[in-house]
């Protein structure tokens, strides 16, 4: 769920511990990373990102990358 994803990423989307910082990253980088996490090709220390993206349609990843790239600005 959207709320569960935000909880894993932190309320400011800054990540922490085993979760990557996503706020303010380049949009093209975020899109590649999100696609990799969703497909399982990009692995982190845990599966937190894959779990956070599990219910999100692949078609929405570009919108999410745009949102995250501009978060906190």
Terminal C-alpha separation, the chain: 24
With beta carbons less than 8 A apart as the criterion, state whether 68 and 53 touch. no
What pTM was estimated for this model as a whole? 0.70
Structure tokens at 5: 């994803």
Region 60-66 average pLDDT = 94
Residue from 36, 23, 14, 16 nearest 64 by CA: 23
Region 42-62 average pLDDT = 86
What is the per-residue pLDDT across 24-49, written as a single tens digit (0 to 9) for each?
889 999 999 999 989 989 877 678 88
The dihedral through the CA atoms of 65, 34, 1, 20 has a sign that is negative
What is the per-residue pLDDT across 4-16, written as a single tens digit (0 to 9) for each?
444 445 555 555 5
The pLDDT of residue 45 is: 66
């Amino acid at each position: 769920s959207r709320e569960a994803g935000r909880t894993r990423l932190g309320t400011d989307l800054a990540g922490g511990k085993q979760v990557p910082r996503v706020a303010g990253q380049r949009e093209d980088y975020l899109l590649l990373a999100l696609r990799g996490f969703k497909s399982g090709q990009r692995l982190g220390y845990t599966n937190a990102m894959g779990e956070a993206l599990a219910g999100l349609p692949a078609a929405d990843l570009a919108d999410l990358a745009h949102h995250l790239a501009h978060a906190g600005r």
